[in-house]
Amino acid sequence: MRCRGVTKDFGTGGSLTRALRGVDLDVPSGELLMLVGPSGCGKTTLVSILAGTLEPTAGDVTVLGQDLVAMSNGRKVRFRRENVGFVFQAFNLLPALTAAENAAVPLLIAGWGRHAAIEAAGAVLDELGLGDRLASLPSELSGGQQQRVAIARALVHGPRLLVCDEPTSALDAENGRITMELIQRIAVQPGRAVIVVTHDARVYAFADRIASMEDGRIDSLTAGPHAAGSA
């Protein structure tokens, strides 16, 4: 995945905000890239563009060999359905669905039958240590458990790009650590790029590389502790 000279403006005229000011970034598959920086520096905007949910104002974005800028809206929807997994800060689980049903949603969107989808989702939840909470509603789960359901949902359809926006900021330190460990251990695989947005210094240890953002630009790109440790 690569982007070159990506800019993004919100609003027009006097109220124009330049959220991205020419971002160049390459993310190879098989590693966990952490995107860090102060609040409002453009992290969410950047990953939204990389995940195909937001149009850049200018620049080139190529993800998994496909040119996102040139892509039609319908093809982008399909691109997200097939290739992207999302973990949000606010979990965004459907409150009326059980853990297994929530985790099955991407498969249902892809057209799987309900029973097969829920069964497959159950297997992923099991791997994430929630095998005994399959039938629980989100409201019956702790924040950490809900985020694990969200991770299961992001991984259930085997996406080649996983985007996590502040996955630990709604969690306490212990749950944040568990969440990052799970992402690190289960999500990061050959053939899959993982981008984790965070401004939580406690979790930097899990990064293969750290891209540091400031005011709409990436101002440094360093090897993370995890890469250093395993090298």
Partner 1 sequence: MLWIAWKMLIGNRAKYLGIVFGVVFAALLIAQQASIFCGLMLLTISQIRDVQGPDIWVMDRNVQYVDDIKPLADTELFRVKGVPGVEWAVRFYKGIVRARLEEGSYEQMILLGIDDDTLVGAPEGVLLGSVADLRKPDAVIIDKVGYQKIWPGEPLRLGRVFEMNDRRAVIVGIATASKTFQSFPIVYTRYSQAVLFAPRERKVLSFVLAEAAPGETAAAVCRRIEEQTGLQALTQRQFVWKTLRHYLAKTGIPINFGITVLLGFLVGTAIAGQTFYLFTVENIRQFGALKAMGTGNWTILGMVLFQALQVGIVGYGVGVGFAALFGLATKSFGRLSFFMPWQVLAITGVAVLLIVLLASLLSIRKVLVVDPAIVFRG
Ligand X SMILES: Nc1ncnc2c1ncn2[C@@H]1O[C@H](COP(=O)(O)OP(=O)(O)O)[C@@H](O)[C@H]1O
Contact residues: Mg ion, CB under 5 A = 44
11, interface contact from ligand X, partner 1, Mg ion, none, CB < 5-8 Å by kind? ligand X
79-107 burial, b at 16+ Cβ within 10 Å, e below that, comes to: bbeebbbbbbbebebeeebbbbbbbbbbb
Alpha carbon separation from 110 to 23, 104, 187, 204, 209 (Å, rounded):
32, 10, 20, 34, 32
Q: How far is the CB of 213 from Mg ion (least distance, A)?
A: 10
Work out what residue 82 binds among Mg ion, ligand X, partner 1, none; the CB cut-off runs from 5 to 8 Å by kind. partner 1
Distance CA 79, CA 123 (A): 25
* Partner that binds at residue 17, options partner 1, ligand X, Mg ion, none, CB closer than 5 to 8 Å by kind: ligand X
DSSP state string for 152-184 = HHHHTT--SEEEEESTTTTS-HHHHHHHHHHII
Nearer to ligand X, 201 or 231 (CB): 201
Do 52 and 86 form a contact (C-beta atoms < 8 A)? no
5-34: contacts with ligand X (CB under 6 A):
10-11, 17, 19
Cα–Cα dist 61/26, whole Å: 10
The answer to whether residue 120 forms part of the interface with partner 1 (CB under 8 A) is: no
Among residues 44 and 147, whose Cβ is nearest to Mg ion?
A: 44
How far apart CA 127 and CA 155 sit, in angstroms, is 11
Measured from the Cβ of residue 126, the count of other Cβ atoms closer than 10 Å reads 14
Among 71, 109, 205, 227, binds partner 1 (CB under 8 A): 109
Nearer to Mg ion among residue 42 and residue 138 (C-beta): 42
Note whether 31 binds partner 1 by CB under 8 A: no
Which of residues 19, 32, 47, 180 is near partner 1 by CB under 8 A? 47
Contact set for partner 1, span 79-108 (CB under 8 A)? 79-82, 84, 86, 88-90, 92, 94-97, 101, 105-106, 108
Nearer to ligand X, 96 or 221 (CB): 221
